Chains A and B, each alone.
Chain A
Amino acid sequence: MDTLVEPFQYGFFRHAIEVATVAGALCGLVGVYVVLRGMSYIGHGLSHAIFGGAVASYVTKINFYVGAGLWGIVSALLINKVARRRTIGADAAIGVVTTASFAVGLALISRFGGFTRNFEAALFGNVLGVTATDVWVVVGVALFAAAVVFFCYRELLFTTFDPEVAEISGVKTGRFDALLAVTLAATITATMNVLGVTLIAATLVIPAVTARLLTNRFALMLGLSVGLGAVCGFVGVYGSYYLNISSGASVVLTGVLLFAIAFVASGPTRVLPSGLRSESDVDSVPLPREPSRSV
């Protein structure tokens, strides 16, 4: 028993597991919208874009969260704006804006140097090096994201499901797309130090797709995704202590394991109870279009 609670006697570990649990829940919440909008690529792209902001804030000696956060919000809004040009498309818009932003970061590193240690933390995460400030920032952004989803639930759902009809029905879809873009940028900025640029996309996507496999109800998918994200964060960091592996990788691998279990359980030879299934037995409906648009 002592062995099981041993890591909790260390302050750095308590911080790490708190922040990873909240960051996992936060990514699970925002990830539902990312996945349902067919925008999984944006998590990957935006995290790279914010890396440029992280370097720029380091070089200009601006607070990381302020510099990288603003950079991320501008990048997200820019992607949103560019993607609305029908001739370009969301995926190409993400490609242009995010790689340009990442390249700015690399250019600044090669020109000014001195970011080497932070560079690794930004890329791969350093959950064991988080400070109390990092914890509070993640908690603050999680509360903001929860408030956005709570107060704009209907509008975000309608805009995600059927943006044209939502617009006709009086929902200002442009505003809600922008609000979601800002929330996503804030989420990635807050969790970058914890999870790392290269792994954030996975924490956004895996809990949400796992939840999708388990339910056909939107509200339940939100709840499950938040719960699964939190479990991945907690178990991932806890497991990394004993397995002596990178905590970011451990969080992601925990998610992959849960996804694999859900995938098998909800597959053709289902073991899930009927109330907790996503696939229907009805096959006589048209295949859906592949949604591809801005956040």
Chain B
Amino acid sequence: MSVLVELERVTCSYGGEPVLVNVDLSVRAGDFIGAVGPSGSGKTTLLKAIAGVIKPIAGRVKHERGVTVGYVPQVETVNWYFPVTVREAVLMARRGGRFVPWPSKQDVIEADQILERLGLGGLGERHIRELSGGQQQRVFIGRALLRRASLLLLDEPTSGIDVKTRHEIMHVLHDLHHDGIAIVLSTHDLNGIAAHLPQLVCLNREVIASGAPHQVVTPVVLEKLYGAPLEVLSHSGMPVVVESYDEMADVSSSAVIPLREGHHGHPG
């Protein structure tokens, strides 16, 4: 598979301490990669470096000729009171070069087809605030698709949404991946999302480990990543991360819980 984007010893900073240090990563056509790590570990910065919107202070980011990147931001960063309808939001990504403000008929047809494909048919005239969390996320996936993105970057696509909606989003992403779009997403959700992806990058300012979930979701890697001991069980060949409460006086048994963090919105 051809390399779409290559990061070579990339270090990024917002003016103070580096938030990414010496990161090497190749994103190839057909990849589906999850970036995992604690808050502030540089996941969002990694996505922005891949997109080319943050210039590294050291190292370099190489984009293959002709690669089109689509970026789906965290829903918490979107101004939902902005006066745009669903169709208008998608059409923002239409090709430039027209000297009139309105989109071409072809652009409108294409946007409506994308909305239909994403299960948002008939919602084009709604204001973006009138949608559910999963629908809102799909609007921004639609905007990236209108660009005919060959690489889709998603920042915490399942944060703040329920299990059913998470399944819907992941279903959409697997469909897009099946259609040949390379995907890189960041997530806090080890059991619900990361364990189901073909490839993970464990990030805490630097790459701690990378590979398939069964290779990298191990107690040793997780302790390095989160600074806390975590158990890993196996369920149908997939790793399941277990946070043990054995040492706590008031809790007598272990609980299998998805390792998710409550805080979002940090440029982690």
A residues neighboring B (CB under 8 Å): 36, 86-87, 149-151, 153-155, 157-158, 160-162, 164-171, 212, 215-219, 221, 278, 280-282, 284-289, 291
Interface residue ranges of B92-109 to A (CB < 8 Å)? 92-94, 96, 98-101
A86 touches B15 (CB 8 A): yes
Q: Which residues of A contact B26 (CB under 8 A)?
A: none
- Kindly provide the distance from the CB of B106 to the nearest chain A CB, expressed in whole angstroms: 15
* Given A161-B84, A278-B83, A286-B160, residue A170 in contact with residue B71 (CB < 8 A): no
Are A169 and B71 within 8 A (Cβ)?
A: yes
Task: Look across to chain A and name the residue whose beta carbon is closest to the beta carbon of B149.
Answer: A169
Complex Cα–Cα for A1 and B92 (A): 50
Contact at B101–A161, with CB atoms within 8 Å?
A: no
In the complex, which residues of chain A have a beta carbon less than 8 angstroms from the beta carbon of B15?
A: 86-87
Query: Does the CB pair B127–A216 fall under 8 Å?
Result: yes
Instruction: Check A282 against B130 for contact (C-beta < 8 Å).
Output: yes
How close is A116's CB to chain B, nearest CB, in angstroms?
Answer: 44
What distance in Å separates the Cβ of A168 from its nearest Cβ neighbour in chain B?
A: 4
Between A and B, 26 residue pairs with Cβ closer than 8 Å are A36-B82, A154-B91, A154-B92, A154-B98, A154-B101, A161-B84, A162-B92, A164-B48, A168-B53, A168-B69, A168-B71, A169-B92, A169-B93, A216-B83, A218-B88, A219-B88, A284-B132, A285-B80, A285-B136, A286-B75, A286-B76, A286-B160, A287-B80, A289-B79, A289-B265, A291-B79
Which residues in B have some Cβ–Cβ distance to A below 8 Å?
A: 14-15, 48, 51-53, 69-71, 73, 75-85, 88-89, 91-94, 96, 98-101, 127, 129-133, 136, 140, 143, 147, 160, 265
A168 adjacent to B51 (CB under 8 Å): yes
For A155, the chain B residues whose CB sits under 8 A away are 96
Whether the Cβ atoms of B53 and A161 lie closer than 8 Å is no
Q: Is the interface of B mostly helix, strand, loop or mixed?
A: loop
A168→B153 CA distance, assembly (Å): 11
Residues of B within 8 A of A281 (CB): 130
Chain B residue contacts of A167, Cβ below 8 A: 53
Bound form: Cα–Cα A189–B147 in Å:
39
Residues B52 and A215 in contact, CB atoms below 8 Å apart: no
Report yes or no: A285 in contact with B84, Cβ–Cβ below 8 A: no
**A162/B73 in contact, CB under 8 A:** yes
Given the complex of chains A and B, what is the CA–CA distance between A4 and B11 in angstroms? 71
Q: Which of A86, A169, A278, A285 contacts B14 (CB under 8 A)?
A: A86
Residues of chain A lying within 8 A (CB to CB) of residue B131: 282, 285
Taking a contact as CB atoms under 8 Å apart, the answer to whether A218 and B132 are in contact is no
Cα–Cα distance between A170 and B132 once the two chains are bound (Å): 29
Q: Can you name 18 extra interface pairs (CB under 8 A) apart from A36-B83, A280-B127, A281-B130?
A: A86-B15, A149-B101, A150-B101, A154-B92, A154-B94, A157-B92, A161-B79, A165-B71, A165-B143, A168-B69, A170-B96, A212-B83, A217-B83, A280-B129, A280-B130, A285-B80, A285-B131, A289-B79
Query: Smallest CB-CB separation from B91: which chain A residue?
Result: A154
- Among B51, B88, B101, B136, residue most surrounded by chain A Cβ atoms (within 10 Å): B101
Complex CA–CA separation, A168 to B98 (angstroms) = 19
Q: How far is A60 from B94 in the complex, measured between Cα atoms in Å?
A: 48
> What distance in Å separates the Cβ of B63 from its nearest Cβ neighbour in chain A?
12
A168 pairs with B52, CB closer than 8 A = yes
Highest count of chain B CB atoms <10 Å: which of A161, A162, A171 = A162
